[in-house]
Structure 1
Amino acid sequence: MKARVVVHRDFRISTIDERLYSAFIEHMGRAIYSGIYEPGHPEADAHGFRKDVLKFVKDLKIPAIRYPGGNFVSAYNWEDGLGPKDQRPVRLDLAWRCKETNQVGIDDFAIWAEEAGIDMMLAVNLGSRGLEDARNFLEYVNFPGGTTWSDKRRGNGREAPYGVKMWCLGNEMDGPWQIGHKVATEYGRLANETAKAFKGFDPTIETIVCGSSNDGMPTYPEWEREVLEECYENVDYISLHKYFGNKSKDTLNYFGKIEETGRYIQTIGGVIDYVKAKKRAKNDVHICFDEWNVWYHIREEDGRRIKEWDWPEAPALLEENYNFEDALFVAGLLNEFIRRSDRVRIACIAQLVNVIAPIRAEKGGPAWRQTIYYPYQFASLYGRGDALNIAVDAGTYDCSVANDVSYLDVAGVHDKEAGKLTLFFVNRHLTESADLDVSLHGFANPTLADHIAMEGHDLSETNGPITQDKVVPTRGSGVGVEDGKLKGKLRPLSYHVLRLDVA
């Protein structure tokens, strides 16, 4: 397959917001308990957090993390997680039909986030609660002292405020499954009043309003329009969620869902522009794609289990085993976020540990990196700088979700300060190598500094507690710079990170 690619230094899309590589973790299944937190584990630190898991997290260089939910937050009392652990109440989590022990609350999670070097993005309960409780939570977290809630924080051992700047105004409020589900205008008004209060407290706070839970919702995209017409001037982002799978076992259609996601982003961008024009607003609203991942391997099975079980404590739930095909998909989706970084400023992989996650950890046992960990890591490490608008001329295919899907998926990022150009390639072709001919315009004396590859695996191969390194990146070969061009072959069904030194 011939693949002509044109990269030009000056054809910029945007400067990427580093929060494009953020994450999400919820009080759900074993994400928190025996995921990041397991007192008594051989790797537990003084606070009960697992150091082996924390090392994998640190290696991802995650800028921000959304917490504590998710569906969980819509019936959550944040105060339950304060104070001495032996005095915290056990509650029923209505979202996942589990018992919540509240052994990890905001102060505990903040310790973990600071150790991991990650900024918190906190969600408030606008389902079963509302503005008053959100305001109290903000005061507890961000006010220095001398008030009821800030002094409670100080009394609980945290003298300085946390200074959280990103606040999610509820979760998936368009979903009938959500505790406290609301119609668009009702939710939009509540979100507006909450955002006004938060910005009255601190105008530098960024507020994130709920968009559609996915682009298949019957209210999409009318939901976004109605919500934004109520709150546009007081919010900074609107959230999008989307999960992916390949139940039909059609690999090319699976990869085509990345194009479908691009249409989703483009549509909501149009809605944002429409509302801005209608309201004659001066501020810009961007997209926070704060839940995305592959989720289908055991989704239906665990959906049935939730309905049948009797309120267990931190059960194994939605612990997907990701294969090589999923890694290729995630690599392509991250490329799409880079290409759409003028609209999508924040994105959060959902979730981080155990529950539909790049990191897995056995209770009392080892932790390991799943196949999808690696493309997420490389995008986070090397996908910072200016996103470039790249022209690709390669073979295409049609599938049920999209037409004219390129077999070669490419994204590029230019880090001017470091003098690096990074190109992320996914060859989606099932059988043919891609014969690369990449023109590099505006870059003086380009040289290939590094080539990382994931290739040569059966699509069904996975990593696990015993075979942790079955699907891992290796040093790539067969690509080099000739006469100022990047040339070589990319094997079928492969992922490549090509790093070039450029002037």
Structure 2
Amino acid sequence: MAKSHIIADRDFVIAPVNRHIYGSFVEHLGRCVYGGIYEPGHPSADEHGFRRDVLDLTRELGVSIVRYPGGNFVSGYDWEDGVGPKDERPIRLDLAWGSTETNQFGTNEFMDWCRQADVEPMFAVNLGTRGPAEAQNFLEYCCHPGGTHYSDLRKRHGYEQPHDIAFWCLGNEMDGPWQTCAKTAEEYGRIATETAKMMRWTKDGLKLAVCGSSFRDMPTFGAWEYTVLDHCFEHVDYISLHQYFENQEDEVDRFLTVIDDLESFIVEVAGIADAVAAKRRSDKRIMLSLDEWNVWYRARSGEQLRGVGWPQAPHLLEEIYNFEDALVIGGALLTMINHSDRVKAACLAQLVNVIGPIMTETGGPAWRQTIFHPFAQAARYGRGNALRTKVTTDTFAAGKQKAAPLLVSSVIDDPDTGRVTVFALNRSTDAAMDLTVELRGMGDRRIETAQQLHHADLKAINSKDAPDTVAPADHPAVELANGTLSATLKPLSWNMFVTMPA
């Protein structure tokens, strides 16, 4: 039996958890839009063509903000193609994914969907084939009240009031050779700076995210972040991180250490951003936006990665998630929570069908993938102040990690509701864990909810015919007395304990 101990005190706060870390991503890729969130003629479709079953699951998932329209797609996207009368919209080749884009879903449709889903929009501008002027025009179309060419064009399209879009991404993965019109760090740093200036001159209160390098193992990583921020430090608020987790060796202990890799990635990027600040003797801190992250490695080649013959809405990147994937997603969320002082936004990529927590059958049902559950629990109960805890736990060696902690955990104190929530991931492959959590300075408490996510088969999946194979269940072994929570965690399990004042 492994043993772990947590001390959490209400007075020791890392930072408030930003609700934007529970974001997601909708890209014009595969069946994410067409057959995913938008399917006119589906039995559940509303008058806009939005699938009500997907809307219901999106609300249940607890998504706070959604990035759109890409992704790789945005680097070749002309936003003007996706507005105005649908019968006048052009059909285009999408070079990013080898598909045909009909443009029947665009900016205004997405904003209508956001309002129904009760989520905030996060828009990306094309800094691949286009530049600062087109980005400023797009912002003006979306957000200027009226009296100008582009704002009045929006009104003619039926949207009298401006869209409330505050968060904007300045391009996507611009160092990636797969990107349409990829750029060097110097080229991108300059264009991002000028874009940010023009956008800020157009609208006050924007939150702007500049592209970091495409992922941590890119040869550009590190130098790219420093050079880009050295150009646009004064003009942006966030730098993006993209992280996809792989299990190519099919070894669960090694797979679970990708959580530690994410921890290192966050610390490194924050350090680079602070080095740019130090050069300027500036107390400004660039925050981190992990605006693409997920498990993704099975659906990453051949016809799963790119359409053949320019199809419309093909089955691309449709990863089928299993139980061990859900454990990694849960652990990654806890890592973000524990870095709430710097990680202020994150987007699980993507929302539906394309490496998504929600799956649909075109014309048929929608269901929750395994990774849906830890995300939904964190989004619902991971609100408030992330506490700086003292954790005592055993370690294990796997992959590049020599001493990875068996327990990954977060404690969140929510002053608005009185809830204190403990999330705990037991990474031991064979040992149950006795967990004790001292909740100091929080008064007498009772357990409101206690659940675990566990399955004997690491490869267990949810499907159309068996949608609840992997699902949370009540936790059978938890007590709370005298301010100390005690529980037994199954090997390889995700656990949540929600407490309230007694």
Q: Pairwise mapping of residues 395-406 of structure 1 onto structure 2 (< 5 A)?
A: 395-406=394-405
> How many angstroms apart in 2 are the aligned matches of 1:90 and 1:499?
50
Partner of 1:6: 7
Counterpart Cα distance in 1 of 2:204 and 2:160: 23
Q: Is the 8 A contact 2:334 2:409 kept in 1?
A: yes
Deviation at 1:488? 2.5
* Partner secondary structure for residue 2 of structure 1: strand
Alignment of 1:38-187 (within 5 A): 38-187=39-188
Gaps of 5+ in 1: none
Name the aligned partner's letter for residue 337 of structure 2.
I
1:400 deviates by: 1.8
1:2 Cα deviation (Å)? 1.4
Tell me the amino acid that sits aligned with residue 20 of structure 1.
Answer: I
Q: Which residue of 1 aligns with 2:439?
A: 440
In 2: Cα distance, 1:295 partner to 1:15 partner: 29
Contact 2:299 2:316 in 1 (8 A): no
Stretches (4+) displaced over 6 A: none
Q: What is the distance in 2 between the residues matched to 1:174 and 1:231?
A: 16
* Aligned mates of 2:421, 2:499 — CA distance in 1: 6
| Counterpart in the other structure of 1:489 | 488
The one-letter code sitting in structure 1 at the alignment partner of 2:97 is: W
Q: CA deviation at 1:79?
A: 0.4
What root-mean-square deviation, in Å, do the aligned CA atoms of Structure 1 and Structure 2 show?
1.1
Within 5 A, what are the aligned runs for 1:242-261? 242-261=243-262
Give the whole-Å Cα distance in 1 for the aligned partners of 2:378 and 2:456. 21
- 1-structure distance, mates of 2:283, 2:490: 48
Give yes or no for the alignment of 1:375 onto 2:374: yes
What residue number does 1:498 align with?
A: 497
Contact 1:67-1:121 at 8 Å conserved across structures: yes
Q: Give the equivalent residue in structure 2 for 1:394.
A: 393
1: CA distance between counterparts of 2:415 and 2:264?
30
Contact 2:6–2:438 under 8 Å retained in 1: yes
Residue 411 (structure 1) aligns with: 410
Q: Measure, in 1, the Cα distance between the counterparts of 2:389 and 2:282.
A: 32
Structure 2 unmatched runs, 5+: none
1:337 and 1:302, CA in 2 relative to 1: closer, same or farther beyond 3 A?
A: farther
- Please say if residues 444 and 482 of structure 2, whose CA atoms lie closer than 8 Å, have aligned partners that are also in contact: no
SS at match of 2:398: coil
Letter of the 1:359 counterpart: I
8 Å Cα contact 2:122/2:168 also seen in 1: yes
What percent identity do the matched residue pairs reach? 46
CA distance in 2, matches of 1:302, 1:341: 38
Partners of 2:323 and 2:455 within 8 A in 1: no
Aligned counterparts, 1:84-483, within 5 A: 84-302=85-303, 306=306, 309-483=308-482
Q: Give the match for residue 33 of structure 1.
A: 34
TM-score by length of 2: 0.98
Letter in 1 for 2:467: Q
Which amino acid is 2:208 matched to?
T
Contact 2:455 / 2:470 at 8 angstroms: preserved in 1?
A: no
Q: Note the C-alpha offset of 1:163.
A: 2.2
How far the C-alpha of 1:301 sits from its partner, in A, is 4.2
Question: Matches of 1:475 and 1:437 in 2, distance apart?
Answer: 18
Residues 390 and 410 of structure 1 are in contact (CA less than 8 Å); yes or no, is this contact kept in structure 2?
Answer: no
C-alpha contact 1:457 1:471 (8 A) present in aligned 2: no
* Distance across 2 between alignment mates of 1:356 and 1:23: 11
| 1:135-189 alpha-carbon deviations (Å, 9 max, x no partner) | 1100000011111111110000000000211110000001111111110011001
* Structure 2 residue identity aligned to 1:117: D
| Count of equivalent residues | 501
What is the deviation of 1:252? 0.9
- Secondary structure in 2 aligned to 1:451? strand
**C-alpha separation in 1, matches of 2:412 and 2:272:** 27
* Corresponding residue SS for 1:306: coil
Instruction: Look up the equivalent residue of 1:244 and give its one-letter code.
Output: F
Q: Please state how far the C-alpha of 1:306 moved relative to its aligned partner.
A: 2.1
CA distance in 1, matches of 2:118, 2:287: 25
Distance 2:482 2:142 in 1: 57
What amino acid sits opposite 2:258 in the alignment? Answer: K
Name the TM-score, length of structure 1 as normaliser: 0.98
Deviation string 1:423-459 (CA, Å, 9 cap, x unpaired) is 1111111111101122221111022111011123311
Stretch moving more, 445-454 or 23-32 = 445-454
In structure 1, give the amino acid aligned to 2:202: F
Residue identity in the other structure for 1:106: T
Offset at residue 202 of structure 1 (A): 2.1
1:112-147 CA-to-partner distances (Å, cap 9, x unmatched) read 011111111100000000011101100000011111
2:132 is matched by which residue type in structure 1?
L
Following TM superposition, by how much is the alpha carbon of 1:401 offset from its aligned partner in structure 2, in angstroms?
2.5
What amino acid does structure 2 have at the position aligned with 1:51? Answer: R
Distance 2:118 2:500 in 1: 28
3-state DSSP of counterpart to 2:301: helix
Q: Deviations over 1:443-485 (max 9, x none)?
A: 1102211101112331100001110111111111211113321
SS in 1 for 2:124: strand
1:245 corresponds to which letter in structure 2? Answer: E
